[in-house]
Amino acid sequence: MSIISGFSKFDRNQRLEFIEKFSELNKSDILRFNDCLSSYPNQQRLYSEMIENYIGNFPLPIGVVTNMVINDEIFIVPFVTEESSVVAAASKSAKYWSERGGFRARVDSMTKKGQVHFTWNGNPQSIQSLFLQFSNKLLDSCSELTKKMRQRGGGITSILLIDKTKELLNYYQIDVSFETADAMGANFINSCLEKIASVLVNQSELNANGERIEIIMSILSNYTPECKVNCWIECPIENLTGWNNNLTYSEFATKFKQSVEIANLDISRAVTHNKGIFNGIDAVLLATGNDYRATEAGAHAYASRIGQYKGLTTVTLTEKIFKYELEVPLALGTIGGITQIHPMVKNVMAILKYPDAKKLMMIAAASGLANNFAAISSLITTGIQTGHMKMHLSNILNQLNASSQERVLVNSHFADKTVSFTAVDDFIRSIRSEE
Ligand code: MEV
């Protein structure tokens, strides 16, 4: 294969022809890229214009978690996920907690930040006094860009000069805080920062004597500790029954607390613990067209804010009350991006009854906590594999091309047995050899 230029100028068929020629795909594999094209021409155009070098649509299942009670409101929460047991686990948890007061959640602030990173080769006092002189000009330069956002209650709320020269030679930041209302606001923030950077350079050129500002970059930060959601569940300890009857309620509460403490002291466990939280959060972010990469990066940084990576949840067990809390930064949006154009996201927003950003942050956090509660509860009782492999059984049957008759036999055989790929494979082979 040779290096190609101009691939993006090809139409979809030409791109597929190229791929067929230079890959291991045959003609019928290539035709599979047509299977998931939308039958609505407008939607199809929309997908094909969403990214560069488009070749087709990539379906993932969407399911719903029912009975999700958050601050006394009941939600049907759409999840997009490829993992078999995620919707089942969150649903079990949501129902369980709906009978114990539901989830509670709070968002205190939605402030986001971005920085202009630059060097200044003059002395620190002169950049400080230049900044004092022209900080209002920097803000004013964004007034056109912030006009609509200000009408929606957002805008720039502060601008600071930060001296970082002790960490890197001549390095400073202009640190800007933003309110972005119901938008995630990445494009808005980046446009304002680039404007501020260009005015910064112009002003310093007018004011300084041979001392120079050199812009390195201007970009929002996906570290959003001020967009924190607190989400918790709480009930009398004696009500912690019914998940599984292996343990008494007080044994369950004690083991649950120990498992969360382990996630707070051991990085190996903390990462997996937080992954279980993101099973729910990411499923909601995908369904609502939010940026899961930004959210994950920010949340994992938050999990290590004291210099050690920890679990994002804490348990308190008083004599009578079990309280389990998730604290996670989630900078989400319900307008902008693809939220109002992607046909499935539009349906998801309607299922959620058009939440504002704050409410969506609480829904995502509750979904994460629901998945995590289910995971821990299974881990400390039956283990995770019983439930997980039961849900995964249909994937195994599909992989083994099981017939409908074989599926019936397998389902009844494994109703009270541990599912594994090898066990199912052996069982199907034994059925087939008897035929
Ligand atoms: C699997 O997707 C998630 C778990 O590993 C989470 C956890 O261990 O807490 C079950």
Q: Contact at 8 Å (CB) between 396 and 421?
A: yes
- Provide the pLDDT confidence category of residue 254 given band limits of 50, 70 and 90: very high
> Best of 258, 267, 272, 391 to mutate for ligand 1, by most ligand atoms within 8 A of CB?
272
298 pLDDT above the threshold of 90: yes
**Which pLDDT does position 208 carry in this prediction?**
60
**Closest Cα to atom 10 of ligand 1:** 375
Query: Which residue from 343, 393, 382 is spatially nearest to 244, judged by alpha carbons?
Result: 382
Whole-model pTM: value is: 0.94
Q: 246 vs 301, which has greater pLDDT?
A: 301
Model pLDDT for residues 98-152, shown as the tens digit of each residue? 999 999 999 999 999 999 999 999 999 999 999 999 999 999 999 999 999 999 9
Distance 43 CA to ligand 1 centre (A): 36
Model pLDDT for residues 320-341, shown as the tens digit of each residue? 999 999 999 999 999 988 988 9
Domain positions in the chain: 7-48, 68-108+225-382, 110-220, 388-434
Residues 226-232, mean pLDDT to the nearest whole number: 98
Residues 278-306, mean pLDDT to the nearest whole number: 98
pLDDT above 70 as % of the chain: 99
Residues 214-222, mean pLDDT to the nearest whole number: 98
Q: If you average pLDDT over every residue of the chain, what do you get?
A: 95
Torsional class of 289: left (φ above 0), alpha (ψ -120 to 50), beta (otherwise): left
The CATH code that applies to domain 68-108+225-382 is: 3.90.770.10
Write the CA distances from 138 to 132, 200, 203, integer angstroms.
10, 7, 9
**Closest Cα to atom 6 of ligand 1:** 276
Least trusted range by pLDDT, from 27-41, 75-89, 300-314, 379-393 = 379-393
**CATH class entry, domain 110-220:** alpha beta
312 Cβ closer than 6 Å to some ligand 1 atom: no
**Which pLDDT does position 205 carry in this prediction?**
79
Helices (H) and strands (E) in the chain — how many of each?
15, 10
- Provide the pLDDT confidence category of residue 209 given band limits of 50, 70 and 90: confident
Residues 290-306, mean pLDDT to the nearest whole number: 98
**Which pLDDT does position 328 carry in this prediction?**
98
- Provide the pLDDT confidence category of residue 386 given band limits of 50, 70 and 90: confident
Ligand 1 atom closest to 273 (CA)? 9
Residues 262-287, mean pLDDT to the nearest whole number: 98
Residues 178-189, mean pLDDT to the nearest whole number: 96
**Closest Cα to atom 3 of ligand 1:** 276
Phi, psi (deg, nearest 5) at residue 136: -65, -35
Place of tokens 């195994």: 396
**Which pLDDT does position 433 carry in this prediction?**
92
**Which pLDDT does position 59 carry in this prediction?**
95
276 Cβ closer than 6 Å to some ligand 1 atom: yes
Ligand 1 atom closest to 378 (CA)? 10
Q: What is the distance between the alpha carbons of residues 422 and 20, in angstroms, rounded to a whole number?
A: 34
**Which pLDDT does position 309 carry in this prediction?**
98
Query: Which residue from 390, 388, 377, 380 is spatially nearest to 100, judged by alpha carbons?
Result: 377
**Closest Cα to atom 9 of ligand 1:** 273
Write the CA distances from 364 to 20, 104, 227, 357, 420, integer angstroms.
40, 12, 13, 10, 32
Model pLDDT for residues 47-85, shown as the tens digit of each residue? 999 999 999 999 999 999 999 999 999 999 999 999 999
382 pLDDT above the threshold of 90: no
DSSP-based helix, strand, coil % in the chain, nearest 5: 50, 20, 30
Least trusted range by pLDDT, from 94-108, 198-212, 311-325 = 198-212
Residues 378-403, mean pLDDT to the nearest whole number: 88
297 pLDDT above the threshold of 80: yes
**Which pLDDT does position 343 carry in this prediction?**
94
